[in-house]
Structure 1
Amino acid sequence: MRVSRVHDPFLRGQLAIAALFLSLGFQYATWAARIPALKSDLDLSAAEVGVLLMAAGVGAAVSFPLVAWLMRRMGSRRLGLLSQLGLALLLLGLAAAPNYPVALLVMCADGVLVGCLNVAMNAQGAALETRHERNTMAKLHATFSAGSLLAALLASGMTAATDSVAAHFGVAVVLLVALGASARTGLLDDEAPADEAAEEARADAAATADGKPAGRRWTVPSSLTLWMCCAMVFGTVAEGAMNDWSALYLKDVAEASAELAPLGIAV
Structure 2
Amino acid sequence: MVFISVGFLFGNWATLIPYIKQKFDLNDAQLGLLLLSFPIGATVMNPFSTFFINRFGMLNTTIIGLILLATTFVCPVGASCLALTSFSLIIVGMCLSVTNVAMNTCVTSLEHQYGINIMSTCHGMFSAGLMFGSIAASILRGMKIEPALQMGAIAVVITALVLLLRPTILGIHEEKIIEEESGGGGAKFILPKGALLLMILISLCTNVTEGTMADWTAVYMRDIVQTDDYFIGWGLAGYSMFMSLGRFVGDALIPRFGGNAVLRTGGIIAALGITLAIIFPYTITAILGFTLVGAGVSCGAPILYGSAARVPGMAKGAGLATMNTFSMGGFLAGPVLIGFISKSISLPFAFSIVAVLALVWAFLVNRVKLY
> Does the TM-score normalized on the shorter chain lie above 0.5?
yes
Pick one of 153, 159, 174 that aligns with 1:189.
174
Distance 1:76 1:111 in 2: 19
Within a 5 Å distance, the mapping from 1:66-81 to structure 2 comes to 66-81=48-63
Within a 5 Å distance, the mapping from 1:153-232 to structure 2 comes to 153-187=135-169, 188-189=173-174, 221-222=193-194, 224-232=195-203
Aligned residues: 232
Structure 1: where are the runs of 5+ without partners?
1-18, 204-215
Pick one of 250, 255, 260 that aligns with 2:221.
250
The verdict on how the C-alpha distance between 1:175 and 1:231 changes in structure 2, with shifts beyond 3 A counting, is same
Distance 1:26 1:192 in 2: 26
**Which residue identity does 2:193 align to in structure 1?**
P
Once the two structures are TM-superposed, the CA of residue 65 in structure 1 deviates from its matched residue by: 2.0
2:22 equivalent to 1:51: no
The verdict on how the C-alpha distance between 1:66 and 1:91 changes in structure 2, with shifts beyond 3 A counting, is same
The verdict on how the C-alpha distance between 1:220 and 1:144 changes in structure 2, with shifts beyond 3 A counting, is closer
The verdict on how the C-alpha distance between 1:219 and 1:247 changes in structure 2, with shifts beyond 3 A counting, is closer
Pick one of 45, 58, 68 that aligns with 1:86.
68
Once the two structures are TM-superposed, the CA of residue 147 in structure 1 deviates from its matched residue by: 0.6
> Corresponding residue for 1:101?
83
Once the two structures are TM-superposed, the CA of residue 155 in structure 1 deviates from its matched residue by: 0.6
Structure 2: where are the runs of 5+ without partners?
239-371
The verdict on how the C-alpha distance between 1:66 and 1:225 changes in structure 2, with shifts beyond 3 A counting, is closer
> Corresponding residue for 2:233?
262
**Which residue identity does 1:239 align to in structure 2?**
E
> Corresponding residue for 2:92?
110
Distance 2:96 2:72 in 1: 11
**Which residue identity does 1:243 align to in structure 2?**
A
The verdict on how the C-alpha distance between 1:235 and 1:184 changes in structure 2, with shifts beyond 3 A counting, is same
Distance 1:39 1:30 in 2: 15
The verdict on how the C-alpha distance between 1:219 and 1:63 changes in structure 2, with shifts beyond 3 A counting, is closer
**Which residue identity does 1:221 align to in structure 2?**
K
2:23 equivalent to 1:41: yes
Q: CA contact under 8 A between 1:77 and 1:190: conserved in structure 2?
A: no
Q: CA contact under 8 A between 2:6 and 2:129: conserved in structure 1?
A: yes
Once the two structures are TM-superposed, the CA of residue 67 in structure 1 deviates from its matched residue by: 0.7
**Which residue identity does 2:197 align to in structure 1?**
L
Deviations 1:156-193 (A, max 9, x none): 11112224212321332233224423541333225899
The verdict on how the C-alpha distance between 1:24 and 1:124 changes in structure 2, with shifts beyond 3 A counting, is same
Once the two structures are TM-superposed, the CA of residue 51 in structure 1 deviates from its matched residue by: 1.4
> Corresponding residue for 1:10?
none
Q: CA RMSD in A?
A: 2.7
Deviations 1:113-165 (A, max 9, x none): 11111111112222323333333222111101011011011111111222421
> Corresponding residue for 1:140?
122
Distance 1:252 1:46 in 2: 11
Distance 2:41 2:59 in 1: 22
Q: CA contact under 8 A between 2:4 and 2:129: conserved in structure 1?
A: yes
**Which residue identity does 1:98 align to in structure 2?**
S
**Which residue identity does 1:53 align to in structure 2?**
L
2:45 equivalent to 1:63: yes
Q: CA contact under 8 A between 1:75 and 1:190: conserved in structure 2?
A: no
> Corresponding residue for 2:276?
none
Greater Cα offset, 174-183 or 116-125 = 174-183
Say which SS state the counterpart of residue 158 (structure 1) adopts: helix
> Corresponding residue for 2:364?
none
Pick one of 205, 213, 227 that aligns with 1:234.
205
Distance 2:99 2:147 in 1: 24
Deviations 1:44-93 (A, max 9, x none): 22112111221111111111222111111111111111110111111221
Deviations 1:187-236 (A, max 9, x none): 3225899xx99x89xx8xxxxxxxxxxxx9x77712x4333222111111
Say which SS state the counterpart of residue 259 (structure 1) adopts: helix
Once the two structures are TM-superposed, the CA of residue 265 in structure 1 deviates from its matched residue by: 0.9
Distance 1:160 1:260 in 2: 9
Greater RCO, CA 8 A, separation 6+: 1
The verdict on how the C-alpha distance between 1:168 and 1:73 changes in structure 2, with shifts beyond 3 A counting, is same
Once the two structures are TM-superposed, the CA of residue 257 in structure 1 deviates from its matched residue by: 1.7
TM-score (norm 2): 0.57
The verdict on how the C-alpha distance between 1:258 and 1:124 changes in structure 2, with shifts beyond 3 A counting, is same
Greater Cα offset, 183-192 or 143-152 = 183-192
**Which of structures 1 and 2 has the bigger CA Rg?**
1
**Which residue identity does 1:228 align to in structure 2?**
M
Q: CA contact under 8 A between 2:41 and 2:90: conserved in structure 1?
A: yes
